[in-house]
Amino acid sequence: MITRFKASNFTVFTDLDVEFTSGINVFIGENGTGKTHLMKAVYAAGCLIDKKIDTPLDRKINGVFAPNSIGRLVHRAVGRNSGSISVYRRMSNESKERSITLRLTNQNKSEVKQNGWAIDDNVEAIFIPVKDMLANAPGFRSLFSQKKLSYEEIYLDIIDKAFVPIARGKLSPEREKLLNILNQAMSGRVIEKNETFYLKNKNGELEFPLLAEGFKKLGLLYRLIQNESLTHGSMLFWDEPEANLNPHLSQTVVKILIELSKMGVQIFISTHDYVLLKEFQLAITADDDILYHVLYRDEKGEISHTATRVLDELSPNAIDNTYSRILDDEIQMGLAAL
């Protein structure tokens, strides 16, 4: 599991130290507080655990963030010309942490140090971005490989993961349970033919571009469960699962995430959504492992972090504060009538 992320003068962070839980990590915070940056940095490191992936961290970070040059990722402030990130992880049978560190300068110099980070094992890291990509999958990979698209690498990565063929043989009962939940929500199952994804149900096959955006998201999740990209030991990073999703489907998403976590998938999500958080609060039991993180700007304007296992204790909570402000405005309008 990923245990910790430290950043010094990296993108929006001046000095950040975040510890994770092995279950579900939920990030909230206003726009511009670095939720996606944190998840992308940890994801980039997570992609390189498998020794077979022969990409250095600086190159992966560059692909995932897609800056004009890698030195642009150094936090811009007077007197600062270098930055670093470190990601830590621990294997279930070890007490000592392994780590990977990237140091950068604003002159585009980079240095990577590993402390037993890569191993000879198939460890999957999956990043689901806010924008749907499955509908655009046909031809995307070849265009990307010719460098004709200036997309962040996470988009190519997620399409690659979706195209991983389905394993032969019977599905495990837990995997079948998850697919049944999605089946019910989407009224169908996902199939792939000639680089095109379809939702198949009793009415026939409907190609992904014709699906509602929310179903495209669930369809992607279906595919990742079906082809075992999401399995014990994997990491799932999901940026704003609520985007394009009708709130009534949030319950399904939360159910799936909790089940995946029980299967041993470590989960990182960012959200701006009250409904999603509330669904977690209602669905979580004492046996589930969840940690709510908040990123916020402190009085010096620097990004700070705090975490709690109890949602109601999360502070500052930009989502709740917005609802409070709306309620206050409504009350004040009413009081004006007195």
Partner 1 sequence: MRLTLTEEKFEFDFPEARELYKFDERDPLSPNFHGVSMQAVDVMAEFPNFQLWIEIKEFQPSEIEAMKKEGDQQKKGNNVHNKAHLTRNLKHKFRDTFLYRYCENKLDRKVVYICLTNFDDALNGYYKRELLKQLPAGKASVRWSKFLLDKSLLFVVNVDSWHRNFEDRFGQCKKIL
| Residues near partner 1 (CB under 8 A) | 274, 278, 312, 320, 323-324, 326-328, 330-335, 337-338
Nearer to partner 1, 78 or 338 (CB): 338
For residue 211 the two structure tokens come to 């699906």
Backbone angles phi, psi at 259, to 5 degrees: -65, -40
Residue 334 Cβ, how far from partner 1 at the closest point, in Å? Answer: 4
SS (H, E, C) the chain: CEEEEEEEEECCEEEEEEECCCCEEEEECCCCCCHHHHHHHHHHHHHCCECCCCCCHHHHHHHHHCCCCHHHHECCCCCCCEEEEEEEECCCCCCCCEEEEEEEECCCCEEEEEECCCECCCCCEEEECCCCCHHHCCCHHHHHHCCCCCCCHHHHHHHHHHCCCCCCCCCCHHHHHHHHHHHHHHCCEEEEECCEEEEEECCEEEEHHHCCHHHHHHHHHHHHHHCCCCCCCCEEEEECCCCCCCHHHHHHHHHHHHHHHHHCCEEEEECCCHHHHHHHHHHCCCCCCEEEEEEEECCCCCEEEEEECCHHHCCCCHHHHHHHHHHHHHHHHHHCCC
- Output 173 or 334, the one with its CB closest to partner 1: 334
Min dist CB 265 to partner 1, Å, is 27
Rounded least distance, CB 249 to partner 1, Å: 17
Nearer to partner 1, 134 or 275 (CB): 275
Complex with partner 1: residue 179 or 314, whichever CB lies closer: 314
CB of 313 to partner 1, least distance (A): 12
Q: Cβ 115 to partner 1, closest distance in Å?
A: 44
Q: Please, which residue, 232 or 325, has the CB nearer to partner 1? A: 325
Least gap, CB of 312 to partner 1 (angstroms): 8
Q: Which is nearer to partner 1, 206 or 311 (CB)?
A: 311
CB of 323 to partner 1, least distance (A): 4
The nearer residue to partner 1, 191 or 311, going by C-beta atoms, is 311
Nearer of residues 14 and 281 to partner 1, judged by Cβ: 281
Classify residue 31 by burial, with Cβ atoms within 10 Å: 0-12, 13-18, 19+. Answer: exposed
- Min dist CB 182 to partner 1, Å, is 21
Closer residue to partner 1, CB minimum distance, 84 or 281: 281
Quote the CA–CA distance of 4 and 293 in Å, as a whole number: 13
Residue 188 CB, nearest approach to partner 1 (Å): 23
- Are the CB atoms for 109 and 83 separated by under 8 Å? no
